[in-house]
Amino acid sequence: MFWIKKGIPQCEVHPIFGSLTFLQKINPGTWMASVYNQYSHPYVGIWVFWRPGLIVNCPNLAHNILVRDSDNFRNRLLSTDTRDKLGTHNIFTANDPLWSAIRKRLTSVFTTAKVKNWQDLYRSKSADLVFRIKSDNKKGVKINLKGIFADYTTDIIGESAFGIKCEATKTGSGALRAMTKEFEKYSTYRGIQWCFIFFFPELADFLGFTFWPKHTNAYAVKLFRMIVKQRGGYEKETEGKKDLLDVLLKMKQNAIKDNQNVDEMVLISNAMIFLQGGYETSSTLLCYMIYEMAYKPPYQQRVYEELKEVKNKIGDKELGASDLSELPFFNAIIKEALRKYPIMGWLDRTSSREYQVDEHLTIPAGTVVYVNSNGMHQDPNIFPDPMEFKPERFLPENMQTFIPYAYLPFGDGPRSCIGKLFGMFSMRFGFAAIISNFILEPFPNAPAPNDVTVERRGLFYGPGEVLSVKFVPRTEPLF
């Protein structure tokens, strides 16, 4: 009755699960889009078990919550007052004041200059990707897109963030890849754990559920300590800030100087979330993007022609990050993939204080708010023919009429994705390498892009089935 008394439309409510009866049946991002379509209202009331929640369907309100009034929406529903320090003491899950301290320290890792310094690594791993595809083609292997791109993105993160030599792109295996493969295992039990962690953290803590599987946690701690030991231990001063691990070590050293304590679990937690967040998002987007391209030969050719112009311009020079950043249609493809396939279909925040949403509604402190990014991405009034893959909408001349804050693939405001640039460059180099070397074709009887199922047990918006395409070698490869 809470929302009804306020005159707010409310989703159907179960006496125990509240509005969350869809969990484990359909993906939360899919459900968000259905709520958006069902209720023509700027916001909709829901119940997160026994806690009131609000789904925001309006770009203007999204701006207010994520940016203008972000000081009141710094925190997520996930709690840091938990036994699972490894799962909750990182930049994604932590709340203030821990979150602010972590964000301040990690920002230096993800500047444009720092990310561009890893260009040699991007080039090397994208070359390994081409080598692996050619090798698998010769063996007659039907390539699992999500799997091979997860190999690729895991390698990039392993070498750039932790200084570990990784060969998963070539071989399909490795120490870090073994860990990311554990992240990919969706079971009903694991799905239930994640549901409670994200939507009922108090019960998850009581039941001893952990953000990552316990055996994965043990493996991560062992691996992290081994790498730190190889670098001389926690006390050895780092020379500059070369990678994420250097920054994490420096964070602990500076805290000691200030008579403060940074728990080792905070360092390992942030290393793990960067590994999962970095590999999962980029590999999933590359998977969807390449699958779409197999059904769009004219788009493939247009991207190839753009890359060919770059090749003619730079000659024998190596392909650079700046070269790829300047290609309008190439980047429009990536932006459209981010619109149609947002990795998480919502952005959650919790109101720290009583908050006036508009002249009609004031919500109490503690209300969890979900910005419905997937709903807005699929709104035909914002993006005409939203289920069609149309990169032309993201060409510079067409973006002048965009509604601000209706497109939120990386969130916005202080809690936007800190690794956005890192992920974009990983996708750009991988995408460029594939289109430069292969023509993509669909397999007979494969599902069309709009018929691909979405993983229902997980929270990320990933494919619920193995996706594959034919990689036909080009007669005139570019890079």
In the annotated binding site for heme, the residues are 417
The residue assigned the tokens 């991988």 is: 430
* C-alpha span between 88 and 95 (Å, rounded): 9
Tell me whether strands 361-363 and 438-442 are parallel, antiparallel or unpaired. Answer: unpaired
Q: Which helix (H) or strand (E) is 439 found in, with range?
A: strand 438-442
Tokens at 50, concatenated: 């026994």
Tell me whether strands 43-48 and 368-371 are parallel, antiparallel or unpaired. Answer: unpaired
Q: What secondary structure letter does DSSP report for 414? A: T
* C-alpha span between 73 and 464 (Å, rounded): 32
Dihedral of CA atoms 193, 194, 198, 202 in degrees, nearest 10, equals 20
356: three-class secondary structure by DSSP:
strand
- Contact assessment for residue 465 and residue 452, using Cβ atoms and an 8 Å cutoff: yes
Q: Which amino acid is located at 83 in the chain? A: R
Q: Where are the alpha helices (DSSP H) in 80-118?
A: 85-88, 98-106, 112-116
Query: Phi-psi bin for 320: left (phi > 0), alpha (psi -120 to 50), beta?
Result: beta
Binding site membership: which residues?
Answer: 417
Of 48, 46, 57, which Cα lies nearest the Cα of 2? 46
CA angle in degrees (0–180, nearest 5) for 313-315-285: 70
CA angle in degrees (0–180, nearest 5) for 400-401-405: 100
